């Protein structure tokens, strides 16, 4: 048996292709670009109907504040749940646009559920408040006394 035949880069008659399939087949390129375009339109951050809401988490000495952008939703459409140290914001987006003229009737509907979870650095016992105002959900979670950070200054000496 010729062992050189097992090493493809040493042989003059290599069967490995160095050309990528998308350079050979234009339909592969077209399909990939169409998939990317639809994914960015339906689920991207700048889309009209993003399935996942934008969420910010900030921390102060006294509390953790979770803010979620939920345009077009009321407080009845949103659920906030706490399971141990996992805070979950979920709900359903419903959008309907209806236009009628004498000769035509146009209805466009978009529906979708969403859910975002955040793991907290502690298990909250009490002091949790959620408000929804003009499509912005704000959840305030008070820190327990043992979760407050105590900052100590450490002296740095020359070696």
Report how far residue 93's alpha carbon sits from residue 111's, in angstroms, rounded to the nearest whole number: 6
CA distances from 132 to 56, 73, 75, 124 (A): 15, 9, 6, 20
Could you say which of 2.60.40.790, 2.60.40.420, 3.40.50.1860, 3.30.360.10 is the CATH number of the domain covering 51-145?
Answer: 2.60.40.790
DSSP 3-state percent helix, strand, coil across the chain (nearest 5)? 20, 40, 40
Mean of pLDDT over the chain? 79
Q: What is the pLDDT averaged over residues 15-39?
A: 71
pLDDT at 46: 47
> Rounded to two decimals, what is the model's pTM?
0.57
Give the up-direction half-sphere exposure of residue 5: CA atoms within 13 A in the CB hemisphere.
2
What's 68's DSSP letter? E
Q: Confidence class of residue 36 from pLDDT cuts 50, 70 and 90?
A: confident
Residues of CATH 2.60.40.790 domain(s) within the chain? 51-145
- Of 25-29, 34-38, 133-137, 148-152, the poorest mean pLDDT is in 148-152
Q: What is the pLDDT of residues 62-117, one digit of tens each?
A: 899 999 988 878 888 899 999 999 999 998 877 777 888 888 887 877 777 888 88
pLDDT at 48: 46
pLDDT at 64: 92
């Amino acid at each position: 048996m010729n062992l050189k035949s097992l090493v493809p880069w040493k042989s003059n008659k290599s069967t490995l292709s160095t050309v990528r399939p998308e350079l050979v087949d234009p339909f592969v390129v077209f399909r990939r670009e169409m998939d990317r375009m639809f994914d960015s339109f339906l689920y991207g951050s700048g889309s009209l109907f993003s399935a996942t809401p934008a969420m910010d988490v900030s921390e102060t000495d006294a509390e953790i504040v979770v803010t979620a952008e939920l345009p077009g939703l009321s407080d009845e459409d949103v659920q906030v749940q706490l399971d141990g140290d996992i805070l979950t914001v979920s709900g359903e987006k419903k959008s309907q646009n209806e236009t009628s003229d004498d000769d035509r009737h146009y209805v466009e509907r978009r529906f979708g559920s969403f859910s975002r979870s955040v793991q907290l650095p502690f298990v909250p016992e009490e002091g949790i408040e959620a408000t929804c105002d003009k499509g912005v959900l704000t959840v305030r979670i008070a820190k327990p006394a043992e979760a407050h950070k105590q900052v100590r200054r450490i002296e740095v000496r020359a070696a």
